[in-house]
Amino acid sequence: MRFSQLLIPTLKEDPSEAEVISHKLLLRAGYIRKLTSGSYTYLPLGLAAIRKVEQIVREEMNLAGAQEILMPMVQPADLWQESGRWQVYGKELLRFQDRHNRDFCLGPTHEEVVTDLARMNIHSYKHLPMNLYQIQTKYRDEARPRFGLMRGREFIMKDGYSFDATDQGAELTYEKMKTAYHRIFNRCGLSFRAVDADSGSIGGSFSHEFMVLAETGEDTIVVCPSCSYAANMEKATCQMSSASDAITLKEIEKVETPGKRKVQVVCDFLNIKASELVKTLVYVVKDEVIAVLLRGDHEVEDIKLANILGISDEDMRLADDKEIFDATGTPSGYLGPIGLKIRLVADQEVASMSNFVVGANEKNFHLRNVNMNRDFTPTISGDIRKVTSRDRCLACGSELELTKGIEVGHIFKLGTKYSTALKATFLDDQGAETPFIMGCYGIGVSRVVAAAIEQHHDKDGIKFPVAIAPVKVLVLNLSPKDLEISQAAEEIYENLRKENIEVILDDRDERPGIKFNDADLIGIPFRITVGKSFSKDGTIEVRRRSDGETFTLSPADTISTVADLIKKAMA
Ligand code: ATP
Ligand code: MG
């Protein structure tokens, strides 16, 4: 491939619409172009990088015993009605009608379609386990498409689904997929962690997310530096931090707190720590207004709260001041649990606190020395708060660390959720009709490319890991008008091709400075320069993009040296 003929529209400046580095570099280096919000065209380099990731995914999935299929992207509503998700999936599901006014959607995921496939075609335990996957464009009408390939509305996903006859079998399949995922992300050159993830209403620890560690990640992950514990913030637990020593419970005391509404302001005024106050937040859950209690210095983790309420976090939000006043008769800032006539959800740590401060349900007043179970009883109590970096690991007691991660993969033991809903059964070895035990396994293929750039770049551009770089070598012909140099560059280019080493020849009639800059920007792992030194002493320079190391070689040694360097980098 010749640079002069390829569509690689590099840009000098950072595009203003891009916030994160991978988005900036993918645009600047001519890998992608935006069509509309969250939809991108993959240009030759972008598509080549995606194909590399796909190939690694394919090899590892096949090795783990999965089979590739390709399901339709357009899915009939009937199946989603059968699973019950037509009503609950919300606005991310792009729905439309065909010419006969029948409802359809663009597939954001394929549990329904694959379960339908299984119920029609797998009838006996003898055909189990079965593990099917596809690599396909998915559509999700994301509320906030952003960061380029990181959160698109249209993006490429590998989605896999397994069917097992027994629970043990399903767990074995799950473990196989976990191993395959470790291999895939290692081969992609990513630094990542598998973390315990929220598995919604299903429970158990049968969900892991694969997180690429990067500042720009949208997820917060909690990691123990001393043991193997790692979890998504949505799921993370920690030791209780409140002391529950036998303390004398004091009499409630009403105190005037004129105009003091915010936690810190109330605490300063009363000269107490935020950990000695219990705040009362108000949420609207579907159509109901509820109160949520937690220690003043803690924050609600919405997913945990949604889980103990048995709803989706999309169905709840913080109430506004008017809704708070209408539901409680008290202006926000002075709310407390005593005498409140709405459902009360308390974080588990409130139970171990004593003699704390709460709002008095009266403007300008708070109460001191309040105690749960003596003065009020919550409707529900449980772990609903976010872990902080001051908290300690439940397993080993070390102080936990919080870091940011980009979710590139997610594996999930589904159980019989979909097979029961869609009546997808097989005959077990006793001849009994049994629902399949399912698992599902996703990888954000296009997101992997963005995540790799977040981890591998410098101020000049991308530094692609060798395994997923669009091509391995870029040959720069620094003087296309010089016959000798051009011939040497052409020869190296041809010899690399003969060795099946993917290469682009920069044959453009441009200044060397432009070629060097573009080479750094597009981030091809090895750059071979044929220029003045070749005319002078017949040498060629090979430069490794990852660390800038250069090698001065004769043309005869160049090909084998580069081949060796590539081999080493991929080992
Ligand atoms: P997120 O929490 O980031 O929205 P998700 O939990 O909705 O992800 P899954 O349904 O598990 O994601 O999808 C499988 C994989 O697809 C994810 O691990 C992620 O890598 C990728 N993915 C999900 N949504 C997007 C998107 N909008 N753009 C690009 N990749 C995505
Ligand atoms: Mg999502």
| Residue 424 reports pLDDT greater than 90 | yes
Q: In terms of CATH architecture, what is 253-382? A: Alpha-Beta Complex (3.90)
Q: Output the CA angle 219-199-342, nearest 5 degrees.
A: 90
Q: How confident is the model at residue 202 (pLDDT cuts 50, 70, 90)?
A: low
- Which residues are CB-contacts of 156 (< 8 A; sequence separation ≥ 6)? 50, 54, 135, 136, 137, 138, 444, 445, 446
Q: Which amino acid is at 565?
A: L
Same topology, domains 12-189+414-454 and 471-569? Answer is no
The predicted-structure confidence for 213-234, as pLDDT tens digits, reads as follows 999 999 999 999 998 899 999 9
CA atoms within 13 A of residue 328's CA, in its CB half-sphere: 34
pLDDT at res. 269: 96
pLDDT one-digit tens code per residue, 432-444: 999 999 999 999 9
Ligand 1 centre to CA of 325 (Å) is 38
Out of 3.30.930.10, 3.40.640.10, 2.60.40.10, 3.20.20.410, which CATH number does the structure's domain 12-189+414-454 have?
3.30.930.10
Where exactly are the structural domains of the chain? 12-189+414-454, 253-382, 471-569
Over the stretch 141-157, which tens digit does the pLDDT of each residue have?
Answer: 999 999 999 999 999 99
| pLDDT digit string, tens, across residues 381-418 | 999 999 999 999 998 999 999 999 999 999 999 999 99
Q: Tell how strand 344-347 and strand 380-382 pair up.
A: parallel
* pLDDT at residue 483 in the model: 95
The confidence score (pLDDT) of residue 423 equals 98
Residue nearest to atom 8 of ligand 1 (CA): 407
92 Cβ inside 6 Å of ligand 1: no
Which is nearest to 488 in space by CA: 520, 536, 550? Answer: 536
Give the pLDDT confidence score for residue 204 in this predicted structure.
Answer: 52
Residue 407 beta carbon below 6 angstroms from any ligand 1 atom? yes
pLDDT on residue 100: 98
Find out whether the beta carbon of 405 lies less than 6 Å from any atom of ligand 1. no
Contact 223, 401 (CB under 8 A): yes
Report d(CA 381, CA 345) in Å as an integer: 6
- How would CATH label the architecture of 471-569? 3-Layer(aba) Sandwich (3.40)
- Ligand 2 centroid – CA 87 distance (Å): 17
Ligand number nearest CA of 141 is: 1
With the CA atoms of 518, 523, 526 and 529 taken in that order, what torsion angle do they form, in degrees rounded to the nearest 10?
Answer: 10
pLDDT (mean) for 3-8: 98
The answer to whether the CB of 370 falls within 8 A of the CB of 295 is: no
User: Is 71's pLDDT higher than 70?
Assistant: yes
Q: Is residue 408 lining ligand 1, measured as CB closer than 6 Å? A: yes
With a cut of 90, say whether residue 244 has pLDDT above it. Answer: no
Q: What is the pLDDT of residue 200?
A: 60
The predicted pLDDT at position 201 comes to 52
**Could you report the per-residue pLDDT of 266-276, keeping only the tens digit for each?**
999 999 999 99
Ligand nearest to the CA of 142: 1
Contacts of 456 (CB under 8 A, 6+ apart): 189, 462, 463, 464, 465, 523, 546
Please tell me the pTM assigned to this model: 0.90
